[in-house]
Amino acid sequence: MDGRGTAGLLYLREEEIRLAMELLFYGYRDFTAGPDAILAELGMGRAHHRVLYFVGRHPGITVSELLAILRITKQSLGRVLQPLIAGGYVVQSRGRSDRRQRLLSLTSAGEALERRLFESQRALLARAFRDAGGPAVEGFRKVMLGLLGAEARARVGLRVSVAGAPVAGKVA
Amino acid sequence: MDGRGTAGLLYLREEEIRLAMELLFYGYRDFTAGPDAILAELGMGRAHHRVLYFVGRHPGITVSELLAILRITKQSLGRVLQPLIAGGYVVQSRGRSDRRQRLLSLTSAGEALERRLFESQRALLARAFRDAGGPAVEGFRKVMLGLLGAEARARVGLRVSVAGAPVAGKVA
DNA sequence: CTTGATATGTCAACGACACTGACGTATCCC
DNA sequence: GGGATACGTCAGTGTCGTTGACATATCAAG
């Protein structure tokens, strides 16, 4: 009736791809809206959140490692890290084996703020997970993992493969 | 053995949430890397891509509608729209029923560029979909939809519910 | 036909967050 | 001692968002 033939499949395929693109665009934006609002009140932005998050996840992380995760320059990190240190959210300590390193950790104030930002996103994500159901969450992880480059996949890959399973060992 | 009791469940739950957060962070970044590189060669950025994308999706869209989708100010849009018009990627035409409106459409050059950007992301997304499998893709859509706010959900919600089904009607 | 609302454009200033390039210091390691 | 490494910082630039103010064209209603 429409004479599309195989082109019809390509059309649907493209629609599926574009739908996913829009879900990622809107989803990422709405997912970050909560923390953005909280941070704005404190005169901070998304870059501060990222530092708080990864320092919280990796206490004692070096500046170099943090730069590699965020993929920004040290100049960019400095602009956001200094206020966090001055504001009492992050502390530096010299490396024990290598005294050139500055190991970063959260203060209790830093932990509290990171927790507050986390809870904002946790609420949204937990609701989305609950509404979608367990198998859907598993599918979500699979697809998202496929979007990661080699470097990022190496960072989270192991955790994806065991997510949901009651593993007692360290997950970091 | 570790005496966690119910706290253990909460711990795993939090790990699951943090994993999703990191997947979204790394995934969004790596997903946009392809277009970013192409656009950089043309002296454009991600904002130009978004305009090209949504104008391509909605030929004849008004400036107001585009602003509502992107959630930016007209000043921000202007800075990115003017170069696209000057570069011959987008054309404006006065609205027929309302001559105040400037309806936006892509030129053939605009369509070609949008197509090039699209193909870059399509390749990545198609591979992720294929590797993950059909049910996983369905789960991905469900979870992502749950992250959208009411406004964005109204824009893509209908399409999500019928995605994958061979619907002949209009999908926009 | 005047008048108020609407759609759009634009000037100016600013802020957040990224970049390159260059340089300095402390420390490590050979 | 000397080169490499880890980190910090100064200076300049670019993208992309913001607010505020103002101009113009057009619509829609009294």
pLDDT tens sequence across B15-74? 999 999 999 999 999 999 999 999 999 999 999 999 999 999 999 999 999 999 999 999
CATH of domain A11-162: 1.10.10.10
Q: Note the pLDDT of residue B167.
A: 39
pLDDT above 70: percentage of residues in chain B: 87
The mean of the pLDDT values for chain B is: 90
H/E element, B105? strand B102-106
pLDDT band at A161 (very low <50, low <70, confident <90, very high): confident
CA atoms within 13 A on the CB side of B49: 25
A45-102 pLDDT, tens digit each: 999 999 999 999 999 999 999 999 999 999 999 999 999 999 999 999 999 999 999 9
CATH (residue range B12-162)? 1.10.10.10
**pLDDT value, residue A12:** 63
Facing residues of A61 across strands?
Answer: A104
Which of the pair, B170 or A125, is modelled with greater confidence? A125
CA of A77 to C1' of D7 (A): 12
Q: Which residues contact B131 (CB under 8 A, 6 or more apart)?
A: A142, A146
- The kind and range of the H/E element at B106 are strand B102-106
pLDDT tens profile B85-108: 999 999 999 999 999 999 999 999
* Domain boundary assignment for chain A: 11-162
CB < 8 Å from B in window 51-110 of A = 53, 57, 71
Please report residues of B whose CB lies closer than 8 A to that of A168: 1-2
Residue B1: per-residue pLDDT: 54
Are the CB atoms for B102 and B93 separated by under 8 Å? yes
Token duo for residue B130: 């294929």
Provide the pLDDT for residue A160. Answer: 77
| Residue written as token pair 């009411």 | B150
Q: Assign 3-class secondary structure to A68-135.
A: HHHCCCHHHHHHHHHHHHHCCCEEEEECCCCCCCEEEEECHHHHHHHHHHHHHHHHHHHHHHHHHCHH
Question: How far, in Å, CA of A81 to CA of A102, rounded?
Answer: 12
- The reply to whether residue A27 touches residue B2, judged by beta carbons under 8 angstroms, is no
